[in-house]
């Protein structure tokens, strides 16, 4: 079984072999958990050291808890530090809501609402973040792509509550832009980009499809063509604010700008 026998447990003290086997398996699991936890703590310490010992960062995520209202990040010292670890969120949050809705709105609430043109779900999808759901049955963690399923539709069960939303710490350059009728409204089209040093750029688009779409697009010559294809793939939807054609056109215009901005930020 490849495990160390606990020194405090006498080797021949248990007559029942199944029980001993059970205990050994349990001990192996505990040891493995310990090792994993140790690695996570080390990872956290490295991240913390890089970012100036940030308070409240778990693992490699910036976790935003249920009660954190969107207004707070501007005012609170600790949250400012957290947001420095996530420049995308810092860029997107000022576009979220008006004075009166921000007074009460929360980050987790925005994720739970799952508006297709909403800024925070777009940031979470682009960064491949996680949603922590809790109920009496227990806690489960879903990836952003699994959580948001469609127009205002999520994988949350009726008895579950979102207790935290985890944004990965950004490595690379990010950019965010949106077009809306009023500052603070849901976007007509919002685009976010992450230049993570990989092959191409991760581009996230909200307001075009029933949930945020994230695609990898080439960073150089083929960028405009890729965004053109993306615009036709997503099609865009019609509503009182804009036609599908206008949405596609907005994506063609702000998509390349945001992608190039992310590349410049990474440099």
Q: Which residues bind other proteins (CB under 8 A)?
A: 98-101, 103-105, 182-185
Give the shortest CB-114-to-other proteins separation in angstroms: 14
Of the pair 185, 210, the CB lying nearest other proteins is at 185
Residue whose C-alpha is closest to residue 172's, from 251, 266, 262: 266
Of the pair 240, 267, the CB lying nearest other proteins is at 240
Give the shortest CB-127-to-other proteins separation in angstroms: 26
Question: Which neighbouring-strand residues pair with 135?
Answer: 138
Give the shortest CB-186-to-other proteins separation in angstroms: 9
C-alpha distance from residue 231 to each of 225, 226, 253 (Å): 10, 9, 11
Of the pair 17, 182, the CB lying nearest other proteins is at 182
- What is the four-CA torsion angle of 120, 122, 128, 133, rounded to 10 degrees? 50
Of the pair 54, 114, the CB lying nearest other proteins is at 114
CB 258 within 8 A of CB 192: yes
Give the shortest CB-62-to-other proteins separation in angstroms: 25
CB 194 within 8 A of CB 170: yes
Of the pair 17, 136, the CB lying nearest other proteins is at 136
Residue whose C-alpha is closest to residue 143's, from 155, 131, 134: 131
Q: How many helices and strands in the chain, by DSSP H and E?
A: 10, 11
C-alpha distance from residue 42 to each of 28, 84, 262 (Å): 21, 21, 29
Of the pair 31, 113, the CB lying nearest other proteins is at 113
Give the shortest CB-160-to-other proteins separation in angstroms: 15
Give the shortest CB-10-to-other proteins separation in angstroms: 46
Count CB neighbours of 189 within 10 A: 27
Q: Under 8 Å CB-to-CB from 113, ≥6 apart: which residues?
A: 152
How many residues does this entry show for the chain?
A: 267
Give the shortest CB-202-to-other proteins separation in angstroms: 30
Of the pair 11, 136, the CB lying nearest other proteins is at 136
CB 236 within 8 A of CB 208: yes
């Amino acid at each position: 079984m490849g495990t160390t026998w606990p020194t405090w447990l006498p080797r021949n003290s248990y007559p029942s072999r199944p029980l001993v086997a059970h205990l050994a398996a349990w001990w192996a699991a505990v040891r493995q958990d310990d090792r994993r936890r140790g690695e996570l703590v080390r990872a956290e310490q490295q991240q913390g050291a890089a970012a100036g010992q940030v308070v409240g960062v778990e693992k490699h995520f910036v976790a935003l808890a249920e009660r954190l209202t969107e207004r707070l990040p501007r005012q609170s010292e600790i949250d400012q530090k957290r947001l420095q670890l996530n420049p995308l969120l810092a860029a997107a949050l000022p576009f979220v809501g008006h004075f009166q809705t921000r007074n009460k709105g929360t980050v987790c609430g925005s994720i739970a609402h799952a508006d297709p043109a909403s800024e925070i779900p777009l940031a979470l999808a682009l960064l491949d973040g996680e949603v922590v759901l809790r109920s009496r049955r227990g806690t489960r963690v879903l990836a952003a792509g699994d959580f948001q399923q469609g127009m205002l539709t999520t994988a949350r069960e009726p008895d579950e509550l979102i207790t935290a939303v985890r944004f990965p710490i950004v490595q690379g350059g990010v950019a965010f832009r949106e077009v809306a009728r009023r500052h603070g409204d849901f976007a007509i089209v919002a685009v976010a980009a992450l230049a993570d040093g990989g092959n191409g750029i991760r581009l996230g688009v909200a307001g075009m499809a029933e949930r945020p779409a994230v695609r990898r697009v080439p960073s150089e010559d083929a960028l405009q063509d890729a965004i053109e294809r993306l615009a036709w793939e997503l099609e865009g939807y019609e509503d009182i604010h804009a036609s599908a054609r206008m949405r596609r056109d907005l994506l063609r215009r702000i998509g390349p700008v945001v992608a190039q901005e992310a590349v410049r930020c990474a440099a």
